[in-house]
């Protein structure tokens, strides 16, 4: 199990480095999805399956959809036809595909070897998380939503001004 945790951690680190070094925004988003999935695997291996599921649903799901929406809305760079031809080349998608395959294999293996839970502690339920998020932390949840909205509006205005200057 330690080997799997080290592999997941190294995939998380490698994916994060690839996010930072990519010049094309779509490629960076693909590597960010891989990084978030690897982090979810680390959470699952550490015995926090609920945190792993939340990581996949919220970050790798909802937040990545928002990022892809902003990238599509801005439509910066090359014309669409040339960009789509470039995406079809294997050198573009082989990295994220390889990392995702390793993560899926690791996750399947780790889920098949998980020991059964004991009743020595009470598991955290979705209700408990919801009560915490919308109870004492409701202000922080709303601030994060406003921050995401401000980022979306800012990206739209920056992209619109760049397109007008061309």
Query: What pLDDT was estimated at residue 84?
Result: 64
Regarding whether 165 and 92 lie in a shared domain, the answer is no
Domain containing 151 equals: 123-166
Q: Summarize pLDDT for 75-92 with one digit per residue, the tens.
A: 655 565 666 676 677 777
Q: Are 103 and 111 in contact (CB under 8 A)?
A: no
Whole-prediction pTM value?
Answer: 0.54
- Mean pLDDT across the chain, nearest whole number? 77
Q: Summarize pLDDT for 132-160 with one digit per residue, the tens.
A: 777 887 777 777 777 777 777 777 777 66
Q: Give 14's pLDDT tier (boundaries 50, 70, 90).
A: very high
Regarding whether 139 and 87 lie in a shared domain, the answer is no
Regarding whether 57 and 21 lie in a shared domain, the answer is yes
Q: Summarize pLDDT for 23-72 with one digit per residue, the tens.
A: 877 788 888 888 988 888 888 888 888 888 888 888 877 888 777 777 77
Number of domains in the chain: 2
Query: What pLDDT was estimated at residue 17?
Result: 92
Regarding whether 140 and 70 lie in a shared domain, the answer is no
Q: Are 39 and 63 in contact (CB under 8 A)?
A: no
User: Distances from the Cα of 5 to the Cαs of 86, 128, 165, in angstroms?
Assistant: 34, 27, 48
Regarding whether 47 and 75 lie in a shared domain, the answer is yes
pLDDT at 10 > cutoff 70: yes
Cβ-based neighbour number of residue 71 at 10 Å: 18
Query: What pLDDT was estimated at residue 22?
Result: 85
Regarding whether 62 and 135 lie in a shared domain, the answer is no
Regarding whether 47 and 3 lie in a shared domain, the answer is yes
Averaged pLDDT for residues 6-18:
90
Regarding whether 110 and 131 lie in a shared domain, the answer is no
pLDDT at 115 > cutoff 70: no
4-8, 19-23, 55-59, 118-122: which range is least confident on average?
Answer: 118-122
Regarding whether 55 and 21 lie in a shared domain, the answer is yes
Q: Domain containing 31 — which CATH number?
A: 1.20.120.1200
Regarding whether 56 and 34 lie in a shared domain, the answer is yes
Regarding whether 128 and 46 lie in a shared domain, the answer is no
Regarding whether 106 and 129 lie in a shared domain, the answer is no
């Amino acid at each position: 199990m330690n080997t799997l945790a080290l592999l997941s951690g190294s995939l998380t680190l490698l994916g994060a480095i690839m996010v930072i070094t990519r010049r094309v925004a779509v490629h960076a988003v693909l590597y960010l999805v891989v990084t978030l999935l690897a982090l979810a695997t680390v959470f699952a291996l550490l015995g926090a399956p609920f945190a792993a599921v939340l990581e996949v649903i919220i970050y790798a799901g909802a937040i990545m959809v928002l990022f892809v929406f902003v990238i599509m809305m801005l439509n910066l760079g090359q014309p669409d036809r040339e960009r789509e031809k470039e995406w079809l080349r294997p050198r573009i998608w082989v990295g994220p595909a390889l990392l995702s395959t390793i993560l899926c294999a690791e996750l399947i293996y780790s889920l098949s070897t998980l020991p059964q839970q004991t009743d020595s502690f009470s598991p955290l339920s979705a209700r408990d998380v919801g009560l915490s998020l919308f109870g004492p932390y409701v202000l922080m949840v709303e601030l994060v939503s406003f921050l995401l909205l401000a980022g979306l509006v800012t990206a739209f205005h920056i992209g619109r001004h760049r397109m007008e200057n061309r």
